[in-house]
Structure 1
């Protein structure tokens, strides 16, 4: 008797959210570069699922601005323009000081300890070498901002911050020039110290300076196109 083919959908609870989250992590960790094609067939084969589930995951990522879907061409990891990049960081400058102040209102010894533990892990990863350690350091840097948002207890703020951090990571992958782009570890420490002292004005100032510092390391100049001879120095 012929048996039906067994896919990952049959053995594991693979949902659209599961696929979206895994693709999202790969984009945020910079394992998937901007412009990478995400064909429904290839993603479906990778997760051993139907194209229907894949399509839903790609649509969700497109809604977050992490994937672009082009008619007759398919889906690609988003390739934000320099102007989009500026808008993302302008939004963070407006938004994150408010998150910081709201988080501080709910912050006690336990929450401060959690932030300090995260900073210790971030520092440890900075001392390691290799591409895997580098990706983990980048993730830990983003997690600092996400942890502050989680401490507000405001689900809307958390979702918004999640999208901003993800889109910032994409921008840094494209336009970042040095390790500074992964977020200054010392700047994170200074922000937490100011919160501990109850000096929220200074903490907010440090947060804006920190975001300025990340953006300043980006090369957002418009690139002039070249022909074949110019591209190969002929």
Structure 2
């Protein structure tokens, strides 16, 4: 071992958590934008160099993305960006619908003014990114809106189940949505919140079904971008 080689100090728990929180959306958005295309290998060494952090922090980011099935990690293989096929997509969307249509009714019953404010703040952020042309960031924020709805419902197992589906759904939308600018999801989210604020579970459920129907109708299976070089992607 070279005694003169620089040693990388492990990050403290607070630093690690903060770094993961800031790096995660950057990598996730790059995946949604297909700058990191399906099949792109993701190595701890390269990402640690790019972001100037320890491999431990990158390992935490990759673990989160792997848990969400946005990337694939297998023993003795480099992590790779996922590419759900048509059958996987159908199964994921069906499972999401089952969870969301149960949770939305519970959310309408439990909503408090503080919850409504949090949801409207998320929608405003989603709208801002959409209007600035940051489509994939808006997709990610839309997923966070749905997760916040799930947490509001007060059923932890169902919320946890949905949390495992939403990031992957965002990936599917980014990869396979046809005519992505033809409607604004934030407007549909706002209508759902209006119904929840009025504790109108039936209307909220109807709007959620319409929202999911529109998402599914716009998805088409097609060839997606090819893998690129991670260093070139982030340096650009």
Q: What range describes the TM-score normalised by the shorter chain of this pair?
A: 0.7 to 0.9
Q: What's the Cα RMSD here? A: 3.3
Q: 1:146 to 1:183 in 2, by over 3 A?
A: farther
Could you say which residue in structure 2 is the equivalent of 1:161? 162
Say if 1:119 and 1:60 are closer, same or farther in 2 by CA, change over 3 A: closer
Alignment length (residue pairs)? 217
How far, CA to CA, are the matches of 1:57 and 1:17 in structure 2?
Answer: 11
Gaps of 5+ in 1: 224-234
Distance verdict in 2 for CA 1:11–1:72, change over 3 Å:
closer
TM-score (norm 1): 0.75
SS in 2 for 1:198: coil
Offset at residue 172 of structure 1 (A): 1.5
Q: Which residue of 2 aligns with 1:97?
A: 101
Write the distance in 1 (CA, Å) between the matches of 2:18 and 2:163: 15
Q: Deviations over 1:160-181 (max 9, x none)?
A: 2222110011112221122259
Deviation (angstroms), 1:80: 0.8
Cα distance, 1:113–1:61 mapped onto 2, change above 3 Å? closer
What per-residue deviation string (whole Å, max 9, x for no partner) do you get for residues 135-155 of structure 1?
A: 432233222212211212343
In the alignment, the residues of structure 1 paired with residue 60 and residue 85 of structure 2 have an alpha-carbon distance, to the nearest angstrom, of 25
CA distance in 2, matches of 1:166, 1:181: 22
Between the aligned partners of 1:121 and 1:61, the Cα distance in structure 2 is: 22
Partner of 2:218: 217
Mapping for residues 33-182 of structure 1, pairs under 5 Å: 33-46=37-50, 47-50=52-55, 58=62, 61-70=65-74, 73-129=77-133, 133-179=134-180
Partners of 2:120 and 2:98 in 1: CA distance: 25
Q: Which moved more, 1:39-48 or 1:107-116?
A: 39-48
Which has the larger Rg? 1
Moved more, 40-49 or 140-149: 40-49
Whole-Å separation in 1 of the counterparts to 2:179 and 2:138: 14
SS in 1 for 2:158: helix
**Structure 2: tracts of 5 or more residues without a match:** 224-236
1:76 match: secondary structure:
strand
Q: Output the CA distance in 1 between the equivalents of 2:182 and 2:37.
A: 16
Quote the residue 1:200 is aligned against. 201
Q: Are the aligned partners of 2:107 and 2:196 in contact in 1 as well (CA < 8 Å)?
A: no
CA deviation vs aligned residue, 1:58-96 (integer Å, no higher than 9, x gap): 455434322223565422011111111111111111110
Q: Any conservation in 1 of the 2:111–2:197 contact (CA below 8 Å)?
A: no
